[in-house]
Amino acid sequence: MTDLDTAHAAMDAAPDDDAQRLRFYERLADTEVFLLLASEPDGDQITPEIFDIADGRFALIFDREERLAEFVGRTVPYAAIPGRGLVGMLAGQGVGLGLNLQVAPSEMLIPSEAVDWLVSTLENTPQEAEARLTEVNAPRGLPEAVITGLDRKLAIAAGLARFAYLAAAVYDDGSRGHVLAFVDAVPGAESSLAKAAGEALTFSGIEAGAIDVLFVRASDQLAGHLAKVGLRFDLPEPETPHTPGAPGMDPNKPPRLR
């Protein structure tokens, strides 16, 4: 069972549970998928194999190379792409996704409307604001779904920061909330970390709420206080980079549809 299999099973078992549906689409966005191509890539340009059926037009994706191979039964061109990158390329083109068809319990047809919805959801960006903290305390009152969502999301932010603390916060204007403080973030990774935190909240199924994000150094006095009262999330060390084996495997050179 892959992460997508597990998320799909939970969604399938509770068809009226919006939170389970959100978690499935979050896993789809965060999973590297293997896209069946119509022809060999031309530089950084790729042409998906598109299937026209009664339900619409679909590109085929698989969450394991072995599953793609089992489906086609022969050597075929493909591209390995993060799910969020693929839906971004397909947005607005009227193309849905056929996921793991005939080879896994997570097989399903994802309509083009769902692809467009996921893209618009992922495009939500955090808003910058200035505020002065006057007090931080142990976090309280947050739904468990938010905690597990943050834990899951930060687990894939390998190497972007050492760790993070979640704490209750009081501001100089008397307002209260929660803050997620990243410790020793890699320069330039701030926006990615803030977006990850925002997505964790969005896909947790909580209709309203916000978590402020800030960045501190381990030597800061605030970091020391957060260590005493905050809930700590450890970010994993980055994996050793591997040599890309197919178009799209190199995140610094994403393919383009043609």
Whether residue 109 is found in the same domain as residue 185 = no
What per-residue confidence (pLDDT) applies to 30?
94
Question: Residue 193: pLDDT above 90?
Answer: yes
What per-residue confidence (pLDDT) applies to 207?
56
Whether residue 70 is found in the same domain as residue 156 = no
Comparing 85-94, 97-106, 157-166, 202-211, the range with the smallest average pLDDT is 202-211
Between the alpha carbon of residue 165 and those of residues 17, 60, 139, 148, 182, the distances in Å are: 30, 40, 10, 14, 7
Boundaries of domain holding 142: 133-234
Question: Residue 249: pLDDT above 50?
Answer: no
Q: Of 128 and 233, which is predicted with more confidence?
A: 233
Say if CB 44 and CB 92 are below 8 A apart.
no
Question: Residue 153: pLDDT above 60?
Answer: yes
Task: Specify the CATH number for the domain of residue 94.
Answer: 3.40.1350.90
Task: Specify the CATH number for the domain of residue 169.
Answer: 3.30.300
Whether residue 109 is found in the same domain as residue 145 = no
Question: Residue 250: pLDDT above 90?
Answer: no
Say if CB 154 and CB 164 are below 8 A apart.
yes
Question: What mean pLDDT comes out for the span 150-174?
Answer: 94
Residue 144 forms part of a structural domain: yes
What pTM was computed for the model?
Answer: 0.84
Residue 59 forms part of a structural domain: yes
Whether residue 147 is found in the same domain as residue 197 = yes
Residue 244 forms part of a structural domain: no
Whether residue 64 is found in the same domain as residue 153 = no
What per-residue confidence (pLDDT) applies to 239?
67
Q: How many domains does the chain have?
A: 2
Whether residue 108 is found in the same domain as residue 146 = no
Nearest C-alpha neighbor of 129 from the set 185, 172, 186, 184: 172
Question: Residue 173: pLDDT above 60?
Answer: yes
Residue 213 forms part of a structural domain: yes
Whether residue 175 is found in the same domain as residue 146 = yes
Question: What distance lies between CA 210 and its chain's CA centroid?
Answer: 18
